[in-house]
Amino acid sequence: MRYAPHRRTPGGPPIDATAPRRIRVAAVPAGHPYTRAITDERFVDLRADPPPPGAAPGQWWPPQVLLPEWLDAHADEIDVVHVHFGSESSSTEELSATVSALRRLGLPLVYTVHDLENPQLTDQGAHRAALAVLLAGADEVTTLTAPTAAEVERDYGRVSVVIPHPTLADGTALPVGRPHAGTRVGVHLRDLRPNIDGVGTVATLVRAVADLRARGTDIEAVVRLNENVRDPDAAASIHALADGTDGVTVERAARLDDDALAAWLADLDVCLLPYSHGTHSGWAELCYDLAVPVVGTRVGHVAAQHPADFHAFRIGDPVSLERAIVDATAGGWSVAGSDARGAEVARRRVDRLDERERVRQAHVAVYRRSMRTEHAA
């Protein structure tokens, strides 16, 4: 994917390898795979997440970097604050205090709009209020897709730098899946967080699979849920929908680690995304890395991340899902375990690693621009 700048192109002055020291960035959160992926460690010193009092090891929330008292105590140790996720831990008033503290201390704020709608919330009122505060207070705004940038400008009056989501896959070898008969469609409902319509998606999938099989299509579907879910009643309904249905199986097991998840996805010919609301999708990025086409609902701007690999359906409309599955598998390049899949994964890997370098350079330029901003007193 190339950069899709919205009114302003990622850039700035050439990166100076003789700069006296790295830019010290306090990111919220620092330990997230996305944050690490966009960080060029040659020029950026990404500070570790400050642990909240009494938190379990590795827990970064509620983010301490957003607390004015933390900023006061550590202002001389950082150059930039970059907020990605975690604003739901703070009230609008608390975020306003954060912005005021940053202004008082002369510290620039960079804000990346990942979510116009928070996937962890049902009521979006508090999230939109947080967006308004952070966007008004940010020295630099970035986002992942041009349509999101257009919404940010329309609704909040801010111009964004569009920097695509980089690959999060480490190493050089990615799984290409195991060969199997027929077409294998999979949907992972994870822990049934608020933006996953597990019941509606599975009901649509069951009907679509039945109709395709009735017309002679060799197809099977697998539905996976984490062992621990947020909505046990929805999980029970999902099991009831799938039980005894030819061609549909349900897997219920512990959460997969990153390598196991990549292997699970690579065994699919199509990955079904079950979102009821949201803006972008890290799963769409991983599927692109693995050359697994995506069938998803038209929520947010997931379709804009990799348009050629995205095929839309509507929850409750099995005919639209049948059509999307047929379109996604046309041409045969997505077949798990095939030579064509392997070749496509290898080709994309080269492009994605090159893209990630450009993404990192673009963020260095954003940080440097933010540090030159004149702050209000």
What digits encode the pLDDT tens for the residues 145-170?
999 999 999 999 999 999 999 999 98
**Per-residue pLDDT reduced to its tens digit, 39-64:** 999 999 999 999 999 999 989 999 99
Query: 338-345 contacts: CB < 8 A, separation 24 or more?
Result: 338/176, 338/179, 341/176, 341/177, 341/291, 342/176, 344/291, 345/174, 345/176, 345/289, 345/290, 345/291
Query: Are 23-166+354-371 and 183-337 in the same CATH fold?
Result: yes
Domain 23-166+354-371 is found in CATH 3.30.465.10: no
Q: Which fold has domain 183-337?
A: Rossmann fold (3.40.50)
pLDDT in tens, 162-196: 999 999 998 778 999 999 999 999 999 999 999 99
Asked whether 282 and 243 are in contact (CB, 8 A), the reply is no
Domain locations along the chain: 23-166+354-371, 183-337
* Calpha distance 254→269 (Å, rounded): 23
As a whole number, the mean pLDDT across the chain is: 93
Distance CA 197, CA 123 (A): 15
Q: What is the pLDDT of residue 4?
A: 38
- pLDDT bin (cut points 50, 70, 90) of residue 331 is confident
